[in-house]
Amino acid sequence: MTEFSAAVYQNEYLAGGSTDVHAIVTVECRGAGQAGQTSAGDAGEIVIVDTSASMGWPGVRAAQAAAAAALDQVIDGTWFSLIAGTHQARLVFPFDGGPMGMAQMSPQTRSLARQAIGYLAPDGGTAMGTWLELAARVVQSVPSVTQAHAILLTDGKNQHETPAELDQRMARAAGHIQVDCRGVGSSWEVGELRRIAQTLMGSVDLIPRPDQMAAEFATLMRQAMSRGVASADLRVWVPQGAQVLFVRQVAPSVEDLSARRREVNALTGAYPTGSWGDESRDYHVAVRLPASRAVGQEQLAARVQLAVGDQVVTQGLVKALWSDDSSLTARINPEVAHYTGQTELAEAIQDGLAARAAGDDRTATAKLGRAAQLAAETGNEEVTSKLRKVVDIEEPATGKVRLRKNVDKLDEMALDTTSTKTSRVRK
């Protein structure tokens, strides 16, 4: 039995005249079960591996091992397929040319798929939009698949289609499939893969060396198979006349969901959150109420709900209570403060690295210094340790840093991909 719960962290006290309400809403899922087993419909898994010429034979062999490791984690009965990506996309398995672009996992199909993996060879360029477009098409060829997920592996930049073409093809895939993106080595672009992952509700990360791919793929696929809730929407109701300033996922990683809003009714917006396993996610919701009320009055600022299909499975209430007691109104909720800091931390790192790449050392020093300060303040040790490889942190408290001269490209990319991963509040 899948159960959801929600908890709200906020300071509901507002000073007279104030109208902005911030809250962290933690949504937790328990008993999700396995993908394709608990909810209506089947699960579909696609492995997309880059087989462009730049991968070379060692890269392709590592990719073959990774693809096989991923398929080993797919539960029997799950629909799956394998796509090889170059400047075009090719369906490697199933290869029977039938109307279905996916096969159901069984000992036989697993063995056939392994054979097909063996025929992969390095050749051609890179056009990731075509890979995603094909993935979405094969998913749609099996109507019973209601939960589709892919792992996309690349080693390079998207050179054989324009950014606009990539955008168009991503848009066609959005809503059909969730994609976790992984870049191997240091020749790919974090920003490019992050954009794909954000659009297709997946994660982005760095795999430093080809021999680490298999373990990463197995982990990703195990995670995917443990997401028994095919999809859920975060719903945010606000009072008439109020404005949603933003809706952001803040843990386990920072994602601005605001642009995903779909209207449920005039007062309620739905923000897709993809599939869920046994996990907890934190959301930062900010609302501007239409007017301040008299001191002593209370009102609801938002109902934050999780909906599976049309069913609201849990709800948290964000409140506003006006007070003239400044000891109450001046208090900053620790969760809100923590995640506001984490969001700023992600921006500071990304802006700092971009400035560094552009040769603007002044801005880079300021931004990465601020990042060092925020990481120290919020206890984000992972970011701090990765920052140390890019800058020398002289005074964490004040954010005084010096850019390091010789920085390994991989260290810089690792810092970039880590920037959106947040630490939890220390409770």
> Could you say whether residue 379 binds other proteins (CB under 8 A)?
no
Q: Are 53 and 123 in contact (CB under 8 A)?
A: yes
Contact 84, 28 (CB under 8 A): no
Please tell me whether residue 5 binds other proteins under the rule CB under 8 A. Answer: no
The helix or strand, by DSSP H or E, that contains position 46, with its residue range, turns out to be strand 42-50
Nearer to other proteins, 228 or 269 (CB): 269
* Residue 331 vs 402, nearer CB to other proteins: 331
What's the closest the beta carbon of residue 89 comes to other proteins, in angstroms? 47
Smallest gap from Cβ 328 to other proteins, in A, equals 12
Q: Is 141 in the site for other proteins (CB under 8 A)?
A: no
Identity of the residue, 242 or 414, whose beta carbon is nearer to other proteins in the bound complex: 242
In which element (H, E) is residue 345 found? helix 334-357
Question: Would you mind telling me the total number of residues written for the chain in this entry?
Answer: 427
Q: How far is the CB of 319 from other proteins (least distance, A)?
A: 8
Count of residues of this chain found to bind other proteins when the rule CB under 8 A is applied: 19
242 binds other proteins (CB under 8 A): yes
Q: Are strands 243-251 and 89-93 parallel, antiparallel or unpaired?
A: unpaired
Long-range contacts (CB closer than 8 Å, 24 or more residues apart) made by 305-312: 305/6, 305/234, 305/235, 305/236, 305/237, 306/4, 306/6, 306/27, 306/232, 306/233, 306/234, 306/235, 306/273, 307/232, 307/233, 307/234, 307/235, 307/270, 308/4, 308/39, 308/229, 308/231, 308/232, 312/235
Least separation in angstroms between residue 13's CB and other proteins is 12
Instruction: Please identify which residue in 239, 252, 274, 396 interacts with other proteins, judged by CB under 8 A.
Output: 239
267 lines the binding site for other proteins (CB under 8 A): yes
Between 8 and 355, CB nearer to other proteins: 8
Task: Supply φ then ψ for residue 229, to 5 degrees.
Answer: -100, 110
Provide, rounded to whole angstroms, the least separation between the CB of residue 380 and other proteins: 31
The alpha-carbon radius of gyration of the chain (Å, integer) is 23
Of residues 91 and 301, the one with the C-beta less far from other proteins: 301
Interaction of residue 240 with other proteins, rule CB under 8 A:
yes
Nearer to other proteins, 244 or 267 (CB): 267
Smallest distance, Å, CB 6 to other proteins? 12
By CB under 8 A, the residues from 281 to 340 that bind other proteins are 289, 294-301, 303, 315, 317, 319
The Cα 78–Cα 132 span in angstroms is 20
C-alpha to C-alpha distances, 241 to 38, 238, 244, 301, nearest whole angstrom: 39, 8, 10, 11
Residue 293 DSSP one-character state: -
**24 sits near other proteins (criterion: CB under 8 A):** no
Residue 82 CB, shortest distance to other proteins, in Å, is 48
Q: Please, are residues 13 and 268 in contact by the beta-carbon 8 Å criterion?
A: no
Residues that bind other proteins (CB under 8 A): 238-242, 267, 289, 294-301, 303, 315, 317, 319
